[in-house]
Chains A and B, each alone.
Chain A
Amino acid sequence: MINPPSKEDLIVSIIEFLENDIIQELKGQKRFHAHVAKNSLNIVLRQLKLEEVSSEKEKDRLSKILKTDKTIKEMNKILCSKIDNNNIDIDNNELIDHLFKTTMEKLEIDQPNYSSFLDEKNKP
């Protein structure tokens, strides 16, 4: 068993280091890049927390739509070729529902401050 700190703690320690000691020291492009680096670490942090559950849900939905049980990567590939070859209608409600859910789960990790994500999340 790996000793503490956890991988999350290690990432948080780098984020805090960038925030408290580094960014203020930099100017121009380097400062911008340090900000981007901090954001990237936050993406990783959210991914560590959320990906397992959201992937499980995505996989379940995919196997229901495609009526097969393969890896998430394989099933997405099959879904893409079904869409390309008109084997699934792009107006199909189950498909649209799945794509909305999957995209919202991705954005929860990638860009939870994005305008459309927030607007969609706050929809009644």
Chain B
Amino acid sequence: MIILKTITKLINMNDKKFQIKEYLIHKDRKFNSISKIGKLPGGSSNETLVINYFDNNKEEKIILRRHHSGIKDKSNLYPPLSLSIEASVMEIAYNNNIPVPKIIYKLNNKSILGEGFFMEFVEGMSLGNKIVQNTQIHELNPSLASQAGSILAKIHSIPFSQIKNLNTSMANDELIKYREVYKDFSLSIPVFNMAFKWLEDNLPNKDNEKSLLHGDFRNGNILVSPNKGITSVLDWELLHVGDMHEDLAWMCVNSWRFGKIKLPVGGFGKRIDFYKSYQKISGKTLNKDSLKFWEVMGSLKWGIMCLKMYNIYNSGYDRSVDRASIGRRVSETEIDLLRLITREQDND
């Protein structure tokens, strides 16, 4: 009865706890009490909650990932993947020995709780700036960059023809998509127009092989343990079929180096380690021009995402201070674009 009382009390507090009740009933676990529910930062259309609970007096944690407030964001121009596909791909990844949290329970589509799933809690640092400042990670063998390269190679080798409803987006599709978004803002940012022009002139070969991409593989979306390295790859909501170079370049975009500009791979490693281990595991050869195309595309994409986030403030949907000020981070991507386009690439 204690359990029921606790749960009822929590349900009354807010909707978040309501979902957990469904899970508890379904799995019939012996919870004595839920001690804490916290929300993890990040995630534009999905939210990630950490639930602390006591199981026979031992405190445990579980993760719940679901659409914001359980409702799909219909206003999103390019809605991300359904959470059930995200969960299925994570399960395939888990079975292929890719470090990813184990899916514990998938919420039913028709559930009043909305779409989502529960997964195991994995320990590790997730904040990009904390990772690049940790001195221990530089001693790792294999290095963090090598680990990232082999993990990415494994992700890209997942056979995707059996997975239904995946989006395919190659270089030209991405370019058209982001041009449209930029056009909608009716802004005049000459560096962006220049970057679009450069990208059009430097499109990679249309025949670049199609792979299953993570879509957001960067420092900030990986969990890192200072003694083991990458313990988990998170935030699979942008996964799609595309050019392998897209994922490889996104990790090197300066915005994810957290100030460590001389370490192009996520602010923690060198390109050579990253590319070498990727090529060794995948057996594929990387194209330097394609990598540069996608790094420029990546910087431009982040700049446009900043504009989009500012627009959420401007539209009145979310009037928070950080949504407002993010518009002033667009100039960061402008300098990165100029340096990338007009200068030789850094060779570190």
A-side residues, CB < 8 A to B, are: 32-33, 36-37, 39-40, 43, 73, 76-77, 79-80, 83-84, 86, 90, 95-96, 99-100, 102-104, 106-107, 110-111, 114-117, 119-120
Contacts and interface: CB of A to CB of B under 8 A. Distances in A.
B340 to A, nearest CB: 10
15 contacts: A32-B322, A77-B188, A80-B188, A83-B193, A84-B196, A96-B342, A104-B335, A106-B331, A110-B328, A110-B332, A111-B331, A111-B332, A115-B254, A116-B332, A116-B339
B338 A80 contact: no
Given A117-B335, A119-B261, A90 B188 contact: no
B197 A106 contact: no
Given A80-B189, A115-B254, 6 more contacts: A83-B194, A84-B196, A96-B338, A99-B194, A116-B254, A116-B261
Nearest to A100: B338
B259 interface: yes
Contacts of A103: 191, 331, 334-335, 338
Contacts of B329: 110-111
Contacts of B198: 90
Contacts of A39: 325
A90 B197 contact: yes
Contacts, number: 86
B190 interface: yes
Interface string B178-190: 0000000000111
A111 B191 CA distance: 17
A111 B306 CA distance: 14
A107 B261 contact: no
Contacts of B190: 76, 79-80, 83, 99, 102
A79 B254 CA distance: 27
A83 to B, nearest CB: 4
A36 to B, nearest CB: 5
Contacts of A102: 190
Contacts of B321: 33, 36-37, 40
B178 to A, nearest CB: 14
Nearest to B201: A90
A32 B39 CA distance: 14
Interface in B139-198: 188-191, 193-194, 196-198
A106 B332 CA distance: 9
A101 to B, nearest CB: 10
Top 9 A-B pairs, shortest CB-CB distance: A76-B188, A115-B261, A83-B193, A106-B331, A110-B328, A80-B193, A77-B188, A103-B334, A80-B188
B126 to A, nearest CB: 15
A68 to B, nearest CB: 15
B336 interface: yes
A117 B261 CA distance: 11
B201 to A, nearest CB: 8
Given A84-B197, A111-B329, A117-B335, A40 B342 contact: no
Contacts of A115: 254, 257, 259-261
